[in-house]
Amino acid sequence: MDDSENKGRVGAPLTELHHDRGLSTKIGWQNKDAFGKALQPKQRAKMERLRTWDERFRSKDSQERNLKQAFGEIDRMASALGLPKSTREVAARLYRTAINNGLLPGRCIEGIASASLYTAARKTQSPRSLDELTAVSRVDRLRIQRAYRYLMRELDLGVEPANPETYLHRFHSTLGFDDEVEYVARDLIETAVEHNVHSGKSPLSMAAAALYAAARLTNTETTQAEISDATGVSDVTIRDRYQDILEVQ
């Protein structure tokens, strides 16, 4: 059997979420031998020393240490936001591209990592608002915005604005509405987009207002305050976008 016919592989698949793409080996944390028995104190101390050296060799230069720290941040934030592995992979790829293009000197690792995840979430149709990202990031909103604009400009990413519909299902589930509410909200947004009502407005606010309008049209009990709590959009903004949506229906 030649190599093309052999479908077997050795080791875990490659992943962008590791600084070395998962090519290196790692000494496990369990202090047990091959038979599952606990190691003796002397052997345990030896394994601790080996783990220390293993960690140093796997992150042997500043760039690899940078990637390792950034990917840890991306994975932590993505877990807190409930983002899928595909989004994390895209974020890691964006960050690696940024560092390979020399965009990190003078920049905060956490800021670029946060901006990479924000961009990746939009590119993979799993958008999160800046407020949501700021809540789990180690840097403030302004620094994330600046890092995001920096990446957009330097990498010429050209990310399309998020469609309000991409927020609907998540908010609909959070609010516990019937499926009919989501269906009507999607219809309202489609009509609003056709009339270009969404232009220049936050897709998050359009989604929140559409859900509020749909709830009222389907006689579903809710308030602007409840929608605001679930979406992070202010009552005033929901009210304004609600009027914009109804005017073109």
* Residues 217 and 183: beta-carbon distance below 8 Å: no
For residue range 155-183, list pLDDT tens digits in order.
988 777 778 888 888 888 889 999 999 99
Does pLDDT of 79 surpass 90? yes
Residue 45: what pLDDT?
Answer: 74
Residue 47: what pLDDT?
Answer: 66
Give the integer Cα–Cα distance in Å for 10 and 32.
23
Residue 41: what pLDDT?
Answer: 74
Residue 161: what pLDDT?
Answer: 73
**Between 30 and 243, residue with greater pLDDT:** 243
Domain ranges of the chain: 11-160, 165-247
| C-alpha pair distances (Å), 242 with each of 127, 163, 189, 213 | 21, 17, 11, 6
Give the integer Cα–Cα distance in Å for 229 and 126.
20
Does pLDDT of 23 surpass 50? no
Q: Which fold has domain 165-247?
A: Cyclin A; domain 1 (1.10.472)
CATH of the domain spanning 11-160: 1.10.472.10
pTM of full prediction above 0.75: no
Residue 20: what pLDDT?
Answer: 46
Q: Do domains 11-160 and 165-247 have the same CATH topology?
A: yes
Mean per-residue pLDDT, 4-27: 50
